[in-house]
Chain A
Amino acid sequence: METWTPNPRAKPFIPRQQRSLYLTWKYQLTNKRMIRRLCQAGAVLFLLITVVVNIKVIMDTRRVANEDEAAQDYEDALPNMETPRRPANGRKVLDIEVYSSRSKVYVAVDGTTVLEDDMREQGRGIHVIVLNQATGHVMAKRIFDTYSPHEDEAMILFLNMVTRGRVLIFTIKDEGTFHLKDAAKNLLKTLGSQVSLNLSWRDMWTLVVKKGGQVYGEKHAKSPALSTWGDPVLLKTEVQLTASEEAECHWADTELNRRRKLFCSKVEGYGSICSCKDPAPIEFNPDPLINNNVFSVPVAVIAGNRPNYLYRMLRSLLSAHGVNPQMVTVFIDGYYEEPMDVVELFGLKGVQHTPISIKNARVSQHYKASLTATFNLHPEANFAVVLEEDLDISIDFFSFLSQTVHLLDEDDSLYCISAWNDQGYEHTAEDPALLYRVESMPGLGWVLKKSLYKDELEPKWPTPEKLWDWDMWMRMPEQRKGRECIIPDVSRSYHFGIIGLNMNGYFHEVYFKKHKFNTVPNVPLKSVDSLKKDAYEAEIQNLLKEAEVLDHTRNPCEDSFLPDSEGKTYVMFIKMETETDTSTWTELAKCLHVWDLDVRGNHRGLWRLFRKRNHVLVVAVPISPYSAAPLPLLTNQNQEGAGLLTSALWTTMEEVKLIQR
């Protein structure tokens, strides 16, 4: 028998395909070498992973670093325009040249002309320049036309405001002594002038002096005869600069004082704002309003180069109850520095505008640019308050607007809300709670509705070549379309500007100086909703019903035209055949000393004003629809004496009776 002995060393036969995975695993596990292999492979894999991860981390970091270098996308495309600062050289002396003559003045500091005026018929009087005694910078430039009256008073005021230690430069162009009174001459003498008391008609004169300090030079050329001028004088002198510490005050280091310090190192003539001991405040923190509806209404202040006006204006604005300085933007027509300094002093937003066109058109273009920018800056606003730099703002200005602004939304027949009553003079305005509707557009502190501006005014605003006044344009029937403005009886703004495009001292004195200005805070306005179109008509009818007809036989210019009563309502009638027949009103306006240059402040041929504390309604006959209003019966009166005024202009008692029927 053949026996088969298996080879003991042979592996047991298991068909490879049938071997289960489990078994393979089990078999391999039992094999130590395999384990070691596996561990090795695992470790290598693990190492590889760590290496890869780390390489990735490194790559990432590298990439970030590269990106940093390659961040050119973020480079500012414009080169840095900052001019290199001039090294502070050791020079401590300023060379100053001052020239005075009939037709030309100039001042040069270290060779730089800081004033040059050789225009004909301009710049007459005493030119004053203030220099910073530490830096030599021009801090103020003024002209006082002391040929004309009162200008010397302004000069005294200005010189008194200048801080001690500043360098003052004076020079006369043409004539500067005709109305230079002794008070001014004495002040010049105390400043150090040797010749001020002898200054006379058509003398030429220059002076460089440190306020409260030494005189650097003075030259004077006497006029030989009335008809001729003194010889031109040229003064050359040197001024020793002082250390900057001496020129500065030591205010506490606050945000406000930093602004103050910057301002005071640049400009002069703002009085106590720069006083070292007791500086005037630049932050006012007026009371907020309860329910302020105009808190988020943008305020646009339209300004030119009248920084002192702007300063006065902003002070009153920022003191008004309920003001929100965040919303105030000052638009300056031109790249003037000083107005911008004033704006920054108060921490407000200032925008400068490149002037377009000339005269009225320039103002008009500036208005347009400013209004457009205002609504761009505040896209969410439906209104804008428009102010000018020569206005005082009443303490209850925002309270007045807050109470009335909803009318613009609710009444389509309204054009604007204005703080100004053209006829509101000291003697013709009485009741701060009373409002009117008027057909004219008074401006001077007013609210503009965005939709009116965007949909109607902006697209057809007069183009630069049209030399129109923007306000006259806005008053034109094509724009106003019969809409009216709400105004208060007592104005919430006061126009103090004397210098201006359409303004001079005389004009201001006659038409603006005696304007009534509200100083009472938080005046609650009377029945605001009765200012809406229909309600107002009813209101007028009621007034007419209760009104007593004045005695038309008396002279309306005389005080006795009104009875010595108080708080009563009277009505009077004037003749006005057509819209353009304004002669009677003008006549009356003249003797009432109200605005008489054109017809303003009327509502459908009706003017409302106060006289001797009585409310007077002036009705134009027959043009006013109120001519036909039911009136109380007149008592029998003597009509013979009618007409201290031309009876042709005056509505006679006969007609008054006719109206009543």
Chain B
Amino acid sequence: MLRVNRTVVLLLLIACSSVFLLFQLYYYRKYVNKVSLTVKKFLALAQRYRLPLFLADTAALKLLSQDALRQRDRLVREPHCSFLCTGRPITSFALHANLWKYDPGFLLAAEQKGFQLLTLTGKDPRLASLDTLSGEEIPLHFLLRLHDYIIQVVFLYERSGNYMWFGALRLRADTDRSFAPFRQLDYGRHAGALDRQELVLTVLDGLDVRVPQNVSRFLYELRHARFLECRYHDARNFLQLYPEDSSPQSLDFRRKVKTLLHRVAQILTKLDIPFWLSSGTCLGWFRQCSVISYSRDVDIGIFIVDFRSDIIAAFRDAGLSLKHKFGKVEDSLELSFLSEDVKLDIFFFYEDGDIVWNGGTQAKSGRKFKYVFPRFSLCWAELLELKVRVPCETLDYVTANYGATWNIPVRSWDWKSSPSNVRENGVWPPSEWAELIQVY
């Protein structure tokens, strides 16, 4: 009797869970339909209002990238929605703001189609400068919601450093916090900078969409896209106290630095070596959004793991002459080049536990120095119309290097004693000097 009961219960349970599973399957099908319907509806609208869109959804693009495509052959997925149904309730698209004449008609039409809208605006970063200009806020993100499915449209604005910028998504006090799962959005946690994308038109799940031509490149860029705007407000205050030197010499210096930096960026981008502004050049960006005219050189940092032996040749080919080479790849490597009469210092950074350091060498005595920084990640910034990396934790970096009084100009600077993060690091053995201290 008891046994029979147990069987019946079990059978009942099985039946229930089967029904439940069926329901889930049905729900999934419905979800699939919902996704493709929502996206389809949106794309139709976008086409009607000529939105210059491309698919910029990380999850969907991941499915499109090369390795994923190879794997897919074995995996049979839902045939109607194999790319756009990523399991997340969001699909993101990017919009070239410069190519689209803002048309409020689009939003009206979307509303009529049943979409709920959230438009997020922000200050126009292109007006941010040492001058105080203010204009109307520009749209940064559209969020369109239909049946709890979100379509994010992120606006890409072209900036003068030849890159596309997108803004951080910030909610006002009166916006509905439950409008979308904001944490899951691909775009909006920080402002970002991307290169201009080559696009190709393709058919995904029966829908015509444009996607970045090099998907994996795009995804890589997106992971490292965080952008920092220069702190113009503070820079203005600084320049009020210490006005910019406008003598012909410093104008000339600034022009040379600009040329040099653009050339360096070109060379290192070609070699695919990430670099960032370091020391005085970083301070110049951070403190006054420009170049410190009395600094007389340009400093950049490169992680030693990114070192490639053809760096020197590449710089030489571009017309920069090697001035000196200190240290070795294993320890305290430092390269200096000369362009016109401006010196370019390349410091290689070594990671060591929770610190990062770079080395210095005094040529005549063979003494070694170590400059210690807290760990940092890299962000994009703009300097002299160039998109260039800086440490994201710029304040920590600058403070480590220049102490708490970094915002007071110091004209007499001794690289061996002035930095607040310098440490004595022994002496190179004289037998190795010829190899480790090369001055040209």
A contacts, CB < 8 Å to B: 36, 39-40, 43, 46-47, 50, 53-54, 64, 67-71, 73-77, 79-80, 255, 326, 329, 331, 349-354, 356, 365, 368-369, 372-373, 375-380, 454-455, 459-460, 463
Contact = CB atoms under 8 A, between A and B. Distances in A.
Given A373-B133, A376-B129, 20 more contacts: A43-B13, A46-B14, A47-B17, A50-B20, A54-B20, A67-B184, A70-B183, A71-B177, A74-B169, A74-B189, A76-B170, A77-B170, A349-B136, A351-B127, A353-B131, A353-B134, A369-B131, A377-B126, A460-B246, A463-B243
Nearest to A366: B131
A74 B101 contact: no
A76 B158 CA distance: 24
A586 B98 CA distance: 49
B17 A459 contact: no
Query: In the complex, which of the residues A40, A77, A351 has the most CB atoms of chain B within 10 Å of its own CB atom?
Result: A351
Nearest to A372: B129
A368 B133 CA distance: 12
B188 interface: yes
B112 interface: no
B178 interface: yes
Interface centre among B7, B183, B189, B251 (most CB of A within 10 A): B183
A74 B171 contact: yes
Nearest to A369: B131
Contact of B10 (A40, A54, A350): A40
A68 B178 contact: yes
Instruction: Give 5 closest A-B pairs by Cβ, nearest first.
Output: A67-B183, A369-B131, A354-B132, A351-B135, A71-B182
B116 to A, nearest CB: 16
Contacts of B181: 64, 67-68
Nearest to A459: B251
Nearest to B190: A73
B111 interface: no
A327 to B, nearest CB: 10
Contacts of B255: 455, 459
B171 A75 contact: yes
Contacts of B24: 53
A379 B158 contact: yes
A353 B133 contact: yes
**Residues of B in contact with A, size category:** 35 or more
B133 A67 contact: no
A525 to B, nearest CB: 30
Contacts of B182: 67-68, 71, 73-74
Contacts of A356: 131
A499 B161 CA distance: 40
B48 to A, nearest CB: 18
Interface in B95-143: 98, 101, 104, 124, 126-127, 129, 131-136
Contacts of B173: 76, 79-80
Contacts of B172: 76, 80
A39 B8 CA distance: 12
Given A353-B131, A376-B129, A459-B251, A64 B184 contact: yes
B174 interface: yes
A351 B134 contact: yes
B158 A352 contact: no
A54 B23 CA distance: 12
A43 B14 contact: yes
A301 B133 CA distance: 14
Contacts of B184: 64, 67
Contacts of A329: 135
A622 to B, nearest CB: 35
A376 B171 contact: no
A46 B16 CA distance: 11
B361 to A, nearest CB: 35
A115 B216 CA distance: 64
Which of the listed residues A75, A77, A365, A463 has the most CB atoms from chain B within 10 Å of its own CB?
A75
B127 A373 contact: yes
Contact of B177 (A40, A68, A376): A68
A269 B248 CA distance: 49
Contacts of B178: 68
Interface in B414-437: none
A353 B133 CA distance: 4
Contacts of B44: none
A372 B385 contact: no
Nearest to A51: B17
Contacts of B202: none
Nearest to A460: B251
